[in-house]
Amino acid sequence: MKYISTRGQTARKPFSEVLLMGLAPDGGLMLPESYPEIGPAILHEWRELSYPDLAFAIMSLFATDIPLDDLRDIIDRSYNAQVFGSDDITPVRTLQDGIHIQALSNGPTLAFKDIAMQFLGNAFEYVLAKEGKSLNILGATSGDTGSAAEYALRGKAGVNVFMMSPEGKMSAFQRAQMYSLQDENIHNIAIEGMFDDCQDIVKALQNDARFKEEYRISTVNSINWGRVLAQIVYYFYGYFRATTSNEQKVSFCVPSGNFGNVCAGHIARQMGLPIHRLMVATNENDVLDQFFKTGEYRPRNAAHTYVTSSPSMDISKASNFERFVFDLVDRDAAEVEVLWTEVAAGKGFDLNFMLDTIQNKYGFVSGKSLHEDRLNTIRQVYQQEGELLDPHTADGVKVARELREAGETIICLETALPAKFAETISEAVGEVAIPRPAKLAGLEDLPQRVVVMPANAEGVKDFIRDALKS
C-alpha cells in the first residue's frame, strides 16, 4: 500500500517512510491511496480475535512494506498485559443507562494516547535500526500526547523527543508526568501561550524543509499517520465487544480536540465497520461542534481559546480535520489547498451546502459540554454507578446522552483516568479517594525538568540545535 498527501504535491510513499515523515513536504497530511474494504466474511473472522491478533490483521493491510514476522513482533511488544494491565487492552463496560464505555486509558500514562504511542515507539525503533538512521521528534501536547510519547520513546535508541506544552495550562498530574522524566533523550519545553501556539510551531518547523532535513525532524502528533493507524484497531475491537453479530450497528461518541481520535473512527467506518454515527464531543472550544452543525469551520487564535477543566481538548485548530475534509471533497487535493489557504489566512471556510453529506453519508453529529455539564455528569455517574469519570470522558457521556436515538447502541471512548484530573474530580464529588496505580504514587513530588520559552519558532529551533550539540 502507498500513501498520498491531502495537498497532492508529494510522491507516493510506503508506510515506513510515512511513519518517519510527519507532515508531508507539501504541507499536507498523508493518507492511504484507498481504504481496504472489510466485508461481512472478514468481520466474522475478526470477531473472536484477541487485541494483538486484531491489530496485526488490520495493520498488515496498511504497513505492507514491513515483513509480517517483524510487524507481529512490534505489535506483540506494544499490546500485552504487562503494558496495559490486562489481555483485553481496551475493555468495554456498560453504565446503567446502557451506554458502553471503552477504556482506552490503562496504559503507562493513563490516557488513550498510549494505545498509539506504544506501537509508534516500537515501530520507530525498528525502522530506524533497519535503516541505520536517527530521528528527532518534535511534538505539541495539551496534556496527554506528550506524556504518552515520552514514556513510549524514553531510552529508545536513535530517538530524541522535544515536546512543547502550554505553560500552566495542564493539570498538576499531567505536568509531573512529563517534566519529572530525567532521560537524556527527553526535552520538555513549556510555551508561553496555548496548545495551538505549540502546534503552530510544530507546523512551522515541519514546513521548514532545510531545517527538517538537517535535523531529521518528525512528529508524534496525530498528524503522523502511524498514530491514526493504531487507533483504527480499537474501533473494531470495541464494536465486537458491544455487539453479538455483524448485522448490528453502533455509534461512537468521541471527546475531540485535534480530531485524530475520531478521524480513526471515520476511517474504520469507510473500511466497512458497521458504525451508525460518529458523535464529536467538544468542550467550550467548540469549533468542531459548530462545523458539524452548520458547515462553517472557523478556527480561533490562542487569544480566543478557552482554558477549561477538560484541558486536553483546549484546541481551536484541529490538525487532523484536513484528512476528513480531503475525503469529504472526494479527495480533490486542489480544493483542500484552497480551503486551507483560507484557514492559514485566519478566515476558515463554509461547507454548509455539504451538511447532508457530512451528516448522512459520513454519519457525523456533534455536541458540546461545558464546565457545569461535566461536573454534573461526573457527579451523577459517581452517585449512581460508584465509579469516577475523567472530565473528557464526562464530556463524551454528556453528549452521548443528549444525542442518543431510541434503541441506539453507543460506545463512549474513555480517554483518560480520573487520577490525572484530581482538582476537577474533587470539585464534582468532594474529597474522595481517586484510584491511581501504585507506580505513580508521589509523582507530583518528583523533581521536574522543563524549559519555559516564548511562542517563537526560531527560539525552538535554537533550542533543538543547542541540545543536539551537547
In a domain, 130, yes or no: yes
Q: Are 397 and 251 contained in the same domain?
A: yes
Q: Are residues 241 and 182 in the same domain?
A: no
- Evaluate whether residue 188 is within a structural domain: yes
Does residue 18 lie in a domain region? no
Q: Kindly state whether residue 56 falls inside one of the protein's structural domains.
A: yes
Residues 322, 285 within the same domain: yes
92-111 residue pLDDT tens: 999 999 999 999 999 999 99
Q: Do 185 and 254 lie in a common domain? A: no
Residue 391 resides in a domain: yes
Q: Identify whether 10 is part of a domain.
A: no
What is the per-residue pLDDT for 215?
94
- Residue 21 is predicted with a pLDDT of 85
Look at residue 371 and tell me whether its pLDDT is greater than 90: yes
As a whole number, mean pLDDT of residues 143-149 equals: 86
Give the model's pLDDT for residue 437: 84
| 292 and 392 co-located in one domain | yes
The tens digit of pLDDT for each residue in 213-249 reads 999 998 887 789 999 999 999 999 999 999 999 999 9
Which one from 13, 113, 398, 461 is the annotated catalytic residue? 113
Q: What is the mean pLDDT of residues 366-380?
A: 98
pLDDT at 143 over 80: no
Are residue 118 and residue 167 in the same domain, yes or no? yes
On whether both 160 and 78 belong to a single domain, the answer is yes
Banded pLDDT at 436 (limits 50, 70, 90) = confident
Whole-prediction pTM value?
0.93
Query: 172 or 289: whose pLDDT is higher?
Result: 289
Do 101 and 149 lie in one domain? The reply is: no
Domain span holding position 262: 92-109+225-429
Per-residue pLDDT, 216: 92
Q: What percent of the chain has pLDDT over 90?
A: 88
What per-residue confidence (pLDDT) applies to 319? 86
Let me know if residue 155 belongs to a domain: yes
Instruction: Please tell me whether residues 181 and 123 are part of one structural domain.
Output: yes
How many C-beta atoms surround the C-beta of residue 198 within 10 A?
28
Q: If pLDDT is split at 50, 70 and 90, which confidence band does 306 have?
A: very high
Residue 255 sits in the same domain as residue 183 = no
pLDDT at 438: 84
Are residues 170 and 242 located together in one domain of the fold?
no
The chain-wide mean pLDDT, for the chain, equals: 95
Mean pLDDT, to the nearest integer, of 16-38?
A: 94
- Say whether 113 is catalytic: yes
Whether residue 324 is predicted with pLDDT greater than 90 in this model: the reply is: yes
Looking up residue 313, the CATH number of its domain turns out to be: 3.40.50.1100
Q: Is residue 6 part of a domain?
A: no
Q: Within this chain, do residues 59 and 156 fall inside the same structural domain, yes or no?
A: yes
| Residue 470 pLDDT > 80 | no
**Total structural domains in the chain?**
2
What pLDDT was estimated at residue 353?
98
Lowest mean pLDDT among 32-36, 186-190, 393-397, 442-446: 442-446
Whether residue 467 has pLDDT greater than 90: yes
